[in-house]
Chain A
Amino acid sequence: MSLADSDRELVVEELGREPTPAEAALFENLWSEHCAYRSSRPLLSAFESEGEEVVIGPGDDAAVVSLPGDDGTYVTIGIESHNHPSYVDPFDGAATGVGGIVRDTLSMGAYPIALADSLYFGEFDREHSKYLFEGVVEGISHYGNCIGVPTVAGSVDFHPDYEGNPLVNVACVGLTSEERLVTAEAQEPGNKLVLVGNATGRDGLGGASFASEDLSEDAETEDRPAVQVGDPYAEKLLIEANERLIEEDLIESARDLGAAGLGGASSELVAKGGLGAEIELERVHQREPNMNALEILLAESQERMCYEVAPENVERVREIAERFDLGCSVIGEVTEGNYVATFDGETVVDVDAEFLGEGAPMNDLESVDVEQPETDLPEVDLEEAFETVVASPNTASKRWVYRQYDHEVGVRTSVGPGDDAALIAVREAEQGLAISSGAAPNWTDTAPYEGARAVALENATNVAAKGATPLAAVDCLNGGNPEKPEVYGGFEGIVDGLADMCATLETPVVGGNVSLYNDSAAGPIPPTPTLALVGAKAGYDAPPLSLAPEADAELLLVGDRGLESGAFDLGGSEYLARFDGTDAFPELPAEPAALVETIAEVADDDATRATHDVSHGGLAVSLAEMVTEEAGLEATLPVSEGEVAGALFHEQPGRVLIQTAEPAAVREAFDGVAPVVSLGSATDDGALALEAEDGTELLETDAGTIDELRSTIEDELA
């Protein structure tokens, strides 16, 4: 890939001359889809990114929000995709994805306290999918565990259309405060630019442009040099060095080195401050001999940070870097002029930083709306349907995955992975921070707009089920080749759907990432809007997911529109994915904001014994997950035998199962907000028995059998 002719013309016009090779390479990378969002930025204005608690919204390394009712404690959230690298080299590609988003957290003056990973692969029974899955999980495990940041939440989905292009979306939550906050906006001409961290080598050259085109069939061998190799030990040293630098107030602004390396980070930093820079490339500490200017400028060597430091503090920064065995070079300074880079006295770059960062023209692409499918339902025996859906890799236990992640380091994890949302103790503000991250490929494949609204509601319901109120979200928007009108139409759908539901829920979308060209010979991926949503609550306690063995407590299903209307839409369900059928996507609740708020309130009530969100796999899977050896369930579905498949397997989000000792109070709380249906009560024998409204026995199973069904992934990969 090289700088497109039309872009080159714009550059020549601006510079009044031909760009140097280094400039051309810099423009090619910084004006790539990956860095400049040329096909997506026109759509992103749909997101509401402001709110009472928003301190820093989109555009910096990570977003910053304050915790409600607390003046000084800030939380950072960022999300990043590392899709193409994870296809070429799953272990290193995923590992460096973690490293990148953690450094985005550091550059806000924050300490990383939690990670969430949403992963998407081709069908689980394909050997290549399993190879990628194992490699990605191992890469995240290796890197995240080593740097001591707990991986507490996330999602894993399998869908045939990720066969040629898996997705790795990584979110990081950090903790900072009003005093510690640092931004990526250069402050003052005359300040020094200091590069701290790993030495620069010839790794990851052209990563940004590699991420901005379709994966070719030989990408696994041909594009390997574009994938970086991570060193989590260096990252851990960088985390601790950064912590010291922030504590001693030595940093004026900071940006981590990611896509387009030093050239990207340093030019973006000064552009944001409306300033320029003079950089002497030969001063960069290097790992390999004879590197040329272009390589030093664009290498994506990992574990490096660029800091703006006042001249009087440079010596102290150097001492701290040395203490942590990190390289440190003063590479230049902030100026009021252009972004200028020299190499051995020769000027290799001399451009306006803002033009470099913001000058890329936007694409105006054609789109075609995606039609919802006709109804074509399969006939399946109920027992077979239950066993297949509960054992499907998409809905089965992800214990094999999260057992490999250290999810407790930091001693903040009150609720870990495997529940609806994770809950992290922010003792600094005496609040619990709930985290949910995920998307639903079947939903957005069926109906991009409705499916994306559902994804937003589903993540909000997850945190509400643990008693937290949504605070803010970041998105990672993944799509195929946007030059295909049907792909761009689907992409538009997920952007608008996510934006609309987040606005309805009054949850500002404070940052995000776009990854397009997730396309290969196997075709485009389903439009995939990963949302990482955080919610806040007082204290760190949350109701469990598992039923309590109390016969007196009642199990209520809240928010099921299908049960209310008697018509079930199975579109986007795991049931239809497994048994080959199509249907419209279900209608969402009428009052989602009030619903989410009420769920959060009821979840925290003293009479609440257990709560569990209902979504992927439908009611069947949620009920199965709540049963344990100690607590069974006798439930009656208020439907006729013919409606059972619809009732058990439709996936309308915004539903929650609540086990409560005071059902009347719960009904009252949801009065006028959402329908409430009593399903039955818990037993102490670990059996799950379902019957229809006329008393017909539908299903009888037990916790042990369910456990076996749900162990699909660990059985295969143990």
Chain B
Amino acid sequence: MTVSIVRFGGSNCDRDAKRALEHLGIDAEIVWHEDGLPADTEGIVLPGGFSYGDYLRAGAMAARAPIMEEVREAASDGVPVLGVCNGAQIGCESGLTPGAFTTNESARFQCEHVHLRVERTDTPWTAAYEEGEVIEVPIAHGEGRYEIADDRLATLEAEDRVLFRYCDEHGEVGPHANPNGSKHDVAGVLGDRDTVAVLMPHPERATLPDVGPTDGQGVLRAFE
């Protein structure tokens, strides 16, 4: 599969995503947003960073870039789309996924390793994990608190579209293990299709064995 990693001005995890995908033997190419998606795109990553400097609102400007129209079309054709961190913010801002990510409860940027509980294993992003498995993945964000209207959250939960929840090392969820105040401890959600997912933690930073834990590999294996 050839994965297109969409680089906006201010993206800064694009190279990291490429390196991580290539480590798993997956072809990946960084695509400058103005150039549009290459015809052979079989998967899409919206990488982390600070697109447009997070000016206005994290992800808001990039969500309105012309390439996002192509991303939405590809997503509706079943092309797997993964938004990570700023990419997750762009995903929600562009309507690919429900809800929004806003300022952390701490009102500060937080870079640390957290634990995630895998909520479903019947999606391409989580097929490599066990149901309820606890994985260690880093976060690095100032605006990662998941927010959504109560009725929409109820629908989201009823439709089982929460992919990952923040938890402690034993898999217990709760305020003690929720790093940013996300509603229902949500760390990642699915879009209308199971092939579209966004998450604030960085699976590409938990893939390369020479610099730390590798629990994030399973997410990226969706592109295999």
Seen from chain A, the residues whose Cβ lies within 8 Å of a Cβ on chain B are 138, 141-142, 145-148, 231-233, 236-237, 323-325, 402-414, 425, 427, 540, 718
A408 to B10, CA, bound (A): 17
Q: Which chain B residues numbered 2 to 31 have a C-beta less than 8 Å away from chain A? A: 9-10, 12-13, 15-16, 19-20
Segment at the A interface, from B49-57, B94-102, B160-168: B49-57
**B110 contacts partner chain A, Cβ-Cβ < 8 Å:** yes
Chain B interface residue count, Cβ-Cβ cutoff 8 angstroms = 34
Q: Which of the candidate stretches B115-123, B125-133, B186-194, B202-210 sits at the interface with the other chain?
A: B202-210
Question: A-facing mask of B29-73, CB < 8 A → 1, else 0?
Answer: 000101000000000000011101111000000000000000000
Candidate in B50, B52, B111 with the most chain A CB atoms within 10 angstroms: B111
Docked Cα-Cα span, A404 to B211, in Å, equals 20
User: With A and B bound together, what is the CA distance between A405 and B202 in angstroms?
Assistant: 15
Q: Are A236 and B10 in contact (CB under 8 A)?
A: yes
Cβ-closest chain B residue relative to A430: B210
Given the known inter-chain contacts A146-B50, A236-B12, please indicate yes or no for A406 contacting B140, CB distance below 8 A. Answer: yes
Pick the residue among A233, A413, A425, A718 that contacts B50 (CB under 8 A).
Answer: A233
Q: Are A404 and B111 in contact (CB under 8 A)?
A: yes
Residues of B contacting A325 in the complex (Cβ-Cβ under 8 angstroms): 9
Q: Would A232 and B20 be within 8 Å (CB), given that A408-B111, A411-B204, A414-B211 are in contact?
A: no
Tell me if A408 and B50 are in contact (CB < 8 A). no
C-alpha gap A402/B12 in the complex (Å): 19
A409, B211: Cβ atoms under 8 Å?
Answer: no
Additional pairs, 19, CB under 8 Å, beyond known A141-B108, A409-B205? A142-B109, A146-B10, A146-B12, A231-B53, A232-B50, A323-B32, A324-B9, A404-B110, A406-B109, A406-B140, A409-B12, A409-B16, A409-B140, A411-B19, A411-B204, A411-B205, A412-B211, A427-B210, A540-B210
Q: How many angstroms from the CA of A427 to the CA of B108 in the assembled complex?
A: 32
Cα separation A138 to B142 with both chains bound (whole Å)? 11
Contact in complex: A403, B111 (CB < 8 Å): yes
Q: Give chain A residues whose Cβ lies under 8 Å from the Cβ of B208.
A: 411
Determine whether the beta carbon of B211 is less than 8 Å from that of A425: yes
Interface set, chain B 194-224, CB cutoff 8 A to A: 202, 204-205, 207-208, 210-212
Q: How far is the CA of A406 from the CA of B139 in the complex (A)?
A: 9
A425 contact from B20, B109, B207, B210, Cβ within 8 A = B210
Establish whether residues B212 and A414, one from each chain, have CB atoms under 8 Å apart when the complex forms. Answer: yes
Is B138 among interface residues, defined by CB-CB distance under 8 A? yes
B135-179 toward A: CB 8 Å interface, digit per residue (1/0)? 000101010000000000000000000000000000000000000
Bound-state CA distance A147–B27 (Å) is 26
Query: How many angstroms from the CA of A106 to the CA of B12 in the assembled complex?
Result: 16
Residue pair B140, A145 in contact (C-beta under 8 Å)? yes
On whether the beta carbons of A404 and B50 are closer than 8 Å, the reply is no
- Give chain A residues whose Cβ lies under 8 Å from the Cβ of B32: 323
One of A146, A409, A414 near B53 (C-beta < 8 A): A146
Nearest 10 A/B pairs, CB to CB: A148-B12, A233-B53, A146-B50, A411-B16, A406-B140, A414-B211, A404-B109, A406-B111, A141-B109, A540-B210
A530 and B211 CA atoms in complex are apart in Å by 28
Question: What chain B residues lie within 8 Å of A323 (beta carbons)?
Answer: 32, 34
Asked whether B50 lies within 8 Å of A403 as measured between CB atoms, the reply is no
Contacts of A405 in B (CB 8 A): 109, 111
Enumerate chain B residues within 8 angstroms of A324, measured Cβ to Cβ: 9
- A145 — which chain B residues lie within 8 A by C-beta? 50, 109, 111, 140, 142
Chain A residues within an 8 Å CB radius of B55 = 233
- B residues in contact with A237, CB < 8 Å: 9-10
Q: Which residues of A have CB within 8 Å of B54? A: 146
Q: Closest approach, in angstroms, between the C-beta of A435 and any C-beta of chain B?
A: 15
CB distance from A203 to the nearest CB of B (A): 18
B140 touching A408, Cβ below 8 Å: yes
Query: 19 A–B contact pairs at CB < 8 A?
Result: A138-B108, A145-B109, A145-B111, A146-B50, A148-B13, A232-B53, A236-B12, A236-B49, A236-B53, A237-B10, A403-B108, A403-B111, A403-B112, A404-B109, A409-B12, A411-B19, A411-B205, A413-B211, A414-B212
